[in-house]
Amino acid sequence: MKLTGAQVLFKALQQENVDTIFGFPGGAVLDIFDELFRSDIRHILVRHEQGAIHAADGYARVSGKVGVCLVTSGPGATNTVTGIANAFMDSIPVVVFTGQVPTPMIGGDAFQEVDITGITRPCTKHNVLVRRIEDLGRTVREAFYIARSGRPGPVLVDLPKDVSRAVIEEKDISWQPNILNNNNNGKYAFTSEQCMKALDMIRNAERPLIISGGGVLLGKASEEFRAFARTLHIPVTSTLMGLGGFPASDPLWLGMPGMHGTYYANMAISHCDLLIAIGVRFDDRVTSKLDAFAPHAKVIHIDIDPASIDKFVKAKLSIVGDCKPILNFLNQCVSEKGFTIPEGQTREWLNQIDLWKEYAPLTYCRTGKTKPQHVVETLYHLTEGKAIITTEVGQNQMWAAQFYHFDYPNSFVSSGGLGTMGFGFPAAIGAQVARPDKLVVDIAGDGSIQMNIQELATAVNYNLPVKVVILNNGYLGMVRQWQELFYGKRYSHSDIADVPDFVKLAEAYGAVGLRATRPEEVESTLRQGLNEPGVVVMDFHVEPEEGVYPMVRPGAPLTEMVLSKEEKAA
């Protein structure tokens, strides 16, 4: 039997159990879209390719599967670059198929030609230009394998038009992935000696602390992680990427560390004698001043990526591997060998943490205009903490992270590493596609939401009932906050007030638009919006100059926290 390149592609996608693609057609991928027309795979047509890649990213984060994105050559491909870099920074498994001009024309500056493998080389885990139809099936399978194995990441496959159109005998196709490099897998298997040494260090610790990150979620190890921390009764702080990996309602949880982390998480890091880092890469927003980070601690670093070990923070003991089997093994040792931290050894430490919690709980001033934190808090209560929350980037992201208390894995979807404004809404669309049973809410700012607002059409078209909560302060809020604190209140080009009318805009797209301008309208507006069956945009006019606190100034040690705007003024 003969197959076209496009048919080979779909056959490979079938082998990878792909059921959803986010994409946008164009000249170089017309053959592929023609095949898609006959396929069972669901395609979500976006309005801008950046929307497609972010939606595939959100889909991957919520479903735990590989997200798939299909776009045309040239501008179609370049429009995905931000989203690819975003997935790369946050280690999200995504496969991006880009169209390419026919192979004989490559290098000749053809219409809609761009060297997309060259452009994305530094921001993909791997990429490949498929020059021969014989290689297509195998290459697609390899792309999925690479995207999800080891430390996951985006893989781009560039498909010249003549390859999609070419015809091949089915028997001449090789489907078997052929990857020689096993750096991500068996080569770095952990040993029981390492685990026993870790337990030994834990046994001797008086002030132990766990810092967990996105690796726990990517490794699907939340359950094992919970058991580990709870059995040993070790307090936990989770990075932005790690939120939901440990229940925020657990008394052992200290909230987020770092620049906008809690006082008690940062104090715990600064005073612990043992820091157990699981699936973190010690981002600068977490460590702040590196020399002053966890100065008294021995560090145990568990991570799947050997390049993360000793990158910034020196590990006394490193265990390279998948955190799920590692935690499983540790839990097994604990239960079978009756391992405990000697009674009372950490009592003083846990008391000290309680005192820090009492001294500076996460809070805000509730008087005056609507406070953005109040909106997030009310959303948390109304949804009983069970919604999937996506965020844009900036203040909205930090308030969502601080005041929506995440109890469940894969319920917080946010652009951590790259900090991509415009991520949250298309990611919410992807999340809703992955979980039609769940309430999905994008917590947005009035700046960020405009960066991919066109995807309202996608959400409405496919009846993906995403709710958008805009914390509208009329500013590019985080920029304004930094200008207030570090640039003498010169609000250079950060004022974006009054335009557009988000209610009318929502209505123009066929969504429901709601607005709340006063604090007493917050709850009723949220109730109304969340109860609507379709897409809803809720525009909350909030205190324009509210800041995100606590805050560690960039480059300062974690112990030097500004707890509130009032404290800063004092």
Contact positions toward other proteins, by CB under 8 A?
117-118, 121-122, 125-126, 129, 146, 151, 179-181, 183-184, 305-307, 310-311
22 closest CA partner among 54, 52, 49: 52
Helix (H) or strand (E) segment spanning residue 454? none
| Residue 33 CA neighbour count, 13 Å, CB half | 17
Q: Which is nearer to other proteins, 121 or 366 (CB)?
A: 121
For residue 112, indicate whether it is catalytic.
Answer: yes
Q: Minimum Å distance from CB 505 to other proteins? A: 40
417: which DSSP letter?
A: S
Angle, helix 49-63 to helix 424-434, in steps of 10 degrees: 50
Which of 7, 11, 24, 49 is catalytic? The answer is 49
Q: Is 161 a catalytic residue?
A: yes
CB nearer to other proteins: give 40 or 291: 291
CA atoms within 13 A on the CB side of 89: 17
Nearer to other proteins, 88 or 246 (CB): 88
Nearest CB to other proteins, comparing residues 177 and 534: 177
| CB closer to other proteins out of 121 and 337 | 121
- Which of 444, 429, 268 lies closest to 360, judged by CA? 268
Catalytic residue among 256, 259, 478, 538: 478
Other C-beta atoms closer than 10 Å to the C-beta of 550 total 21
Minimal distance, residue 183 CB to other proteins, in Å: 5
Whether the CB-CB separation of 28 and 165 falls below 8 Å is answered with: no
Judged by CB, which is closer to other proteins: 117, or 452?
A: 117
Q: How far is the CB of 142 from other proteins (least distance, A)?
A: 8
Query: 3-state SS of 221-256?
Result: CHHHHHHHHHHHCCCEEECHHHCCCCCCCCCCECCC
Q: Give the span between the Cα atoms of 372 and 477, in whole angstroms.
A: 11
Smallest distance, other proteins to C-beta of residue 143, A: 10
Given phi > 0 = left and psi -120 to 50 = alpha, else beta, which region is 443? beta
How many Å apart are CA 288 and CA 365, to the nearest integer? 26
User: Which amino acid does the sequence have at 336?
Assistant: E
- The catalytic residue among 14, 15, 111, 348 is 111
Q: Is 343 a catalytic residue?
A: no
Q: Give the separation between CA 22 and CA 57, rounded to whole angstroms.
A: 10
Supply the residues annotated as catalytic: 49, 111-112, 161, 478
